[in-house]
Amino acid sequence: MRIPLDVICVKSGVLCPRCRRLVESNTYTWREVEIMKHLLELEETDPNFKFLKDATYVKAYETNSMIVVVIDVGTDVPQQALIKLGRVLSTKLNTRVRIVRKSNPRNMILQIIAPARIEGINRVWTPDGDVQNIIRIPKTDARLLPSEASELERILSIILGENYRIKID
């Protein structure tokens, strides 16, 4: 797996000056160093995760109840493998982990919101010039959201760099 920090630094837990600067400047967090370490260990030890050899770690985003890890992995890797990886990381980190394949915004939203369905994504321009993206979810799927709607809105806004709101119809 390709990671933004040095492999030796991540495996040992002792960071070189360059890696320490990246962590101290909040480009990456200590929690991300821990996630990278677990991903490297799984790549080496678990044959189910051989696809990690060709993957690239992008970023991890943490909320109160879950962590969303974005990785750049080929389209030949099935979504079930990423779900299984998320479950394994969840047990190692003692919090819910969702692995998301880096792709276009719509696909990333689908992966984060799953298993809830999306009826549509509307783009609304407000009078003050802001743009808001409204994700419409059926009322029957509201209970299937992986976290609270406000947390999902916040994490989607951070990951995709635009304002997102979840509306349950």
Banded model confidence at residue 136, pLDDT cuts 50, 70, 90: very high
Q: pTM to 2 decimals?
A: 0.84
For residue 89, CA distances in Å to 18, 36, 39, 49, 141 come to 27, 10, 8, 12, 26
CA distance 118 to 141: 9
pLDDT, tens digit, 9 for 90 and up, residues 110-122 = 888 888 889 988 9
- Say which CATH class 117-169 falls into: alpha beta
pLDDT, tens digit, 9 for 90 and up, residues 41-96 = 888 888 888 888 888 889 999 888 888 999 988 888 888 888 898 899 899 888 88
Q: Please, which residues bridge with residue 69 across strands?
A: 60, 99
φ and ψ at residue 40, rounded to 5 degrees:
-65, -40
The domain spans of the chain are 117-169
